[in-house]
Amino acid sequence: MTKKVIIDQMQRSVELTFPLKRIVSLVPSQTELLHYFGLEKEVVAITKFCIYPRIGMLRNNELEALRN
């Protein structure tokens, strides 16, 4: 596994271990950031407020599947 340190908007260091497995994006601006980083395949769900890019919509009946 590879580790990478990313600096967030608050200038905090966030260490990520790659490969990432699954990401659920709950904030439209973060969905765009994930797209910018080329992580479309890792994003498994977004909210109805995420209009760009259209990766995949989170539905209530899918929440249980994401927990597994």
Q: Where along the chain do its domains lie?
A: 21-67
pTM here is 0.51
Question: For residue 57, with 0-12 CB atoms within 10 Å meaning exposed, 13-18 middle and 19 or more buried, which class applies?
Answer: exposed
Q: What is the pLDDT of residue 45?
A: 85
20-40 pLDDT, tens digit per residue, is 788 888 888 888 888 888 888
Q: What is the mean pLDDT of the chain?
A: 78
Q: What is the pLDDT of residue 12?
A: 92
Task: Locate 26 and state its tokens.
Answer: 């709950």
Q: How far is CA 6 from CA 1, 10, 39, 53, 57, in A?
A: 16, 11, 14, 22, 26
